[in-house]
Amino acid sequence: MLNNALTLDGQLETVQQAKGFLQDLTAENYQLVLKPHFISSAGTHMRHILDHYLALKEGLNQGLVNYNKRNRYASVETCPQTALLEWQKVESWLKQVSQLDADMPLTVACETSISTSQNTHTQSTLARELVFVSSHAIHHFSLLAVINSLLGNKDEVNFGIAPVTASYIRQQA
């Protein structure tokens, strides 16, 4: 069982942020690449985030989480409604996963170099990988917030803000 309800709550906050971002986004804006500032669309970022959650989900069954696996050009990249449905699936999965042992051992595979193909395999745990995928999502949410801003749209106040930054802001108030 995961350490406590707060772990699940934090995960679900990340899901809610993604779903909130997707709610009113048009397919046109979701697919738009704002060059020269970006080389990918909001949809590409959202697909990339979901790829990490799906890699973790699949990895639980195999004991090997392969973050190299990408679903490039999937419909989740071009259709915000499809992405929204995927986030709903992630939400359901997270509620199930919260009942598992947080210390469940996992092996993580990922590439570590941009100049050559260098794969590494590292030992981890379910809890650590849940923290990673959520943190990774929030990092990309901050990029999505910039894209949305350049499109003239506004996001929820804490969209793309790291939890530690939110705590800092609360302490300063």
Mind spelling out the 3-state secondary structure of 10-42?
HHHHHHHHHHHHHHCCCHHHHHCCCCCCCCCCH
* pLDDT tens digit sequence for 16-60: 999 999 998 999 999 999 999 999 999 999 999 999 999 999 999
Q: Which two tokens stand for residue 153?
A: 């749209």
Nearest to 159 by CA among 143, 173, 145: 145
pLDDT given for residue 75 in this prediction: 95
* pLDDT tens digit sequence for 87-141: 999 999 999 998 889 899 999 999 988 888 888 999 999 999 999 999 999 999 9
Domains and CATH numbers, the chain: 5-167 (1.20.120.450)
Its pTM stands at 0.93
pLDDT given for residue 5 in this prediction: 52
Q: Cα–Cα distance between 61 and 73 in angstroms, integer?
A: 25
> Which DSSP letter does residue 75 get?
G
Segment 150-171 mean pLDDT: 90
